[in-house]
Chains A and B, each alone.
Chain A
């Protein structure tokens, strides 16, 4: 029974299959909201309300010709999308969903899983950099260096913002952090500043407008992905979609009280809360224009990092004086 449950966990829910279906749905949601904000229709044709459009895009890309540049490092070039996808799916398993609603620590929920999740979410950035660098195309190389430059900007504020609720809850385990805020819902309020910082940093991590600098199409064509095509590009796109789900899941688990209620209600909670986060991410995307890479770094260190420190200070004060 335990083996079956593990297999179910890995393959079906919340493993590969669920992440595939839900991430394509999230992409559809993102595109639809973005389109409606811009007075457009968005996907309408494939499936009801265009729901299957991201799936169709994925399979279409899978069937396209796959070209590897002559001068590229072929092994690295081919391995990167697969490894990247594996990393984000593994990160998805760590989200405190169904099996960890009971209190016991286990394979996927343990003290420090929030750190592991943050680490796994940092790896895709490295994958993108290597992808750009191994393509040996001037546009990809510029994109690759931009990926790394941005990392130095948003990573520290993101860590500080996400870890401050953990400090308040006195736990490094996401399920416990979520449980803490469900018990004391009022304590969500002091973390609002951290929530906003985390949203902005997640936006930067996912390379969406205003931070879509590494693949700014009007400047450096496809950026990191210029040389990628066919299956490899499809994998990268799926990877970005799953990263969107995992990152919004992390924000929802830490700031919005997690996903209680077992398999059924827990799933509903998960969907509602992640869509809530994704809605904000889409809103940012629709309302801003792309900024320059030097502006990202200076913005992060001038505003985001000090605000994140302020958030830490608030949390420490509350913890020392009130709790």
Chain B
């Protein structure tokens, strides 16, 4: 007997709204339909109304977890348009924050994976230790979520000796803890039993479906923008690209924990070789008419910003391709023929950041399935008309 179960837009496994409609046969998934567009914010249009400086803080708000990634990706592009380079010290601090952000993002993901697998103790411990790196980020930038470190031509805050020492100490703590998590993640039998062999994505499939980030690397592809297209400091820093060959959720966990270790190494290198000097150069207000594509390895994978300037102080067009969007096709393939019990794990394994990837919205009539284009004012009128004199509804029927 086949029947549909709706995962989302509201579901405990999803922290953000997305709709996965599963056609299941018993406990086995036969087909998956992903629907996006529940959290569209019109960011790209907003960017066209703002100056380059204002846009940094706007792009920072694309994502609440990899906020620095989007801002850095944007700033890299704008710096290329303006033909300036950040001073060495500024670049080092910028990518130090980037690596600390990767650490916090991966620790967060480990906790989420533990929670999705019903391993709440793992969740509590990783999130407790995530506080260490969150405190470091707060000490550097003054903020826990949106660091606001970037500015065009460098960074906004400098590091002093005491800070450097504190960060090194914090990284030492995190390193010992991460080794412990690696041991648990690879040895706890119930946890491994849940992760191993789940959500298989072969190397060829990963290439065909354009998977990025840890999802691709867990399928044995050495794709990392930091190595493939070394930008700023990454050609000076020694580090390895972490891959796994198991092509499953366990592989994705292992890749992320290994990346944590690499990030600690990178952070230590950057701190120990921190050059003296300025942290920012003065940037012009306007950029010459040109266009640029900026790539950046965010914790979730390759992040791409396309920026077009027209000689004014505002970008003419900003296009953001968040890594999650690139991983959706792979996620659908991974979910097929899996168990219902594995849905949250497989979907969480791409580390979905759903509202980062929301670029369009489509208005579909839920009952008839027809789509149409409406202006915002029309939408508001429609909502007002519908909610007027409407009694409180109970037991709403899901329209399949």
Contact = CB atoms under 8 A, between A and B. Distances in A.
A39 B188 CA distance: 19
Nearest to A299: B193
A290 B193 contact: no
Contact of A210 (B4, B122, B190): B190
A289 interface: yes
Given A210-B190, A218-B115, A218-B116, A287 B121 contact: yes
Contacts of B340: 142, 219-220
Contact of A218 (B190, B191, B344): B344
Interface stretch (B5-13, B224-232, B309-317): B5-13
Contacts of A288: 119, 188, 190-191
Contacts of A220: 340
B125 interface: yes
Contacts of B144: none
Contacts of B115: 218
A40 interface: yes
A294 B124 CA distance: 27
B395 interface: yes
Interface in A208-226: 209-210, 212-213, 216-221
Given A138-B5, A142-B5, A292-B341, A38 B120 contact: yes
Given A210-B190, A221-B11, A290 B125 contact: no
A212 B118 contact: yes
Nearest to A138: B5
Contacts of A142: 5, 27, 340
Contacts of B171: none
B339 interface: yes
A208 to B, nearest CB: 10
A219 B13 contact: yes
Contact of A291 (B11, B128, B194): B194
B119 A218 contact: no
Contact of B125 (A39, A139, A213, A295): A39
B120 A219 contact: no
A220 B125 CA distance: 25
Given A210-B190, A295-B193, A217 B114 contact: no
A219 B344 contact: yes
B183 interface: no
Nearest to B347: A218
A38 B118 contact: no
Interface in B192-212: 193-194
B108 interface: no
B3 to A, nearest CB: 6
Contacts of A293: 27, 341
Contacts of B6: 138
A70 B397 CA distance: 10
B166 to A, nearest CB: 23
Contacts of B343: 219
Given A138-B3, A209-B120, A219-B344, A38 B194 contact: no
Given A138-B5, A218-B115, A293-B27, A38 B121 contact: yes
B117 interface: yes
Contacts of B372: none
Nearest to A69: B395
Nearest to A284: B190
Contacts of B124: 38-40
Contacts of B342: 292
B394 interface: yes
A290 B395 contact: no
Interface in B99-124: 114-122, 124
B182 to A, nearest CB: 16
Given A39-B128, A288-B190, A67 B118 contact: no
A37 B125 CA distance: 10
A289 B27 contact: no
A256 B114 CA distance: 35
Given A70-B395, A289-B190, A213 B121 contact: no
Contacts of A61: none
A165 to B, nearest CB: 28
21 contacts: A39-B125, A69-B395, A138-B5, A138-B6, A139-B5, A142-B27, A209-B119, A210-B118, A218-B13, A221-B12, A286-B120, A286-B121, A287-B188, A288-B190, A289-B190, A290-B117, A290-B118, A290-B194, A292-B339, A293-B27, A295-B193
Interface of B: 3-6, 11-13, 27, 114-122, 124-125, 128, 188, 190-191, 193-194, 339-344, 394-395
Interface of A: 37-40, 67, 69-70, 138-139, 142, 209-210, 212-213, 216-221, 286-295
Task: Please name the 6 residue pairs, one residue from A and one from B, whose CB atoms are nearest each other, closest first.
Answer: A290-B118, A289-B119, A38-B124, A218-B13, A218-B344, A288-B190
Given A210-B118, A288-B190, A289-B122, 15 more contacts: A39-B125, A40-B124, A69-B395, A142-B340, A209-B120, A210-B190, A216-B341, A218-B118, A220-B340, A286-B121, A288-B191, A289-B190, A290-B117, A291-B194, A292-B193
